Amino acid sequence: MTAESASTVKVIIDVMLKAEILDPQGQAIANALPRMGFSFSPVSTRQGKRFELTFEHEPTDKEIAEIKKAAETLLANPVIEIFEIRMER
């Protein structure tokens, strides 16, 4: 992990499969958890992807709009995935 200064801002894009799309990886995880002896049993277990874009300044509105476009066209496939963008300071 690289050292981060006080002015670092992380833009986090979380990508998940749409609810109606089969998620076999989430399924495999769900099956593995009780086998490992864990007692919690969620009604749903799904796997997604997280992208982190680190900036050394506060992203401008224009930049955020572009990041959203990048998310729609590259980071996520809107046919089968949804995404959420948030910031971490």
Q: In the complex, which residues of this chain contact other proteins (CB under 8 A)?
A: 17, 20-22, 24-25, 28, 74-75, 77, 79-80
Minimum distance from residue 86 beta carbon to other proteins (Å): 20
Q: What are the two backbone dihedrals, phi and then psi, of residue 25, each rounded to the nearest 5 degrees?
A: -70, -40
Q: How far apart are CA 27 and CA 13, in angstroms?
A: 23
Give whichever of 27 and 60 is closer to other proteins, judged by the CB atom.
Answer: 27
For residue 37, is it left (φ>0), alpha (ψ between -120 and 50) or beta? left
CB closer to other proteins out of 74 and 89? 74
Three-class SS state of 15? strand
Nearest CB to other proteins, comparing residues 54 and 60: 54
Instruction: Give least dist CB 67 to other proteins, A.
Output: 16
Least gap, CB of 11 to other proteins (angstroms) = 17
**Residue owning tokens 């959203």:** 68
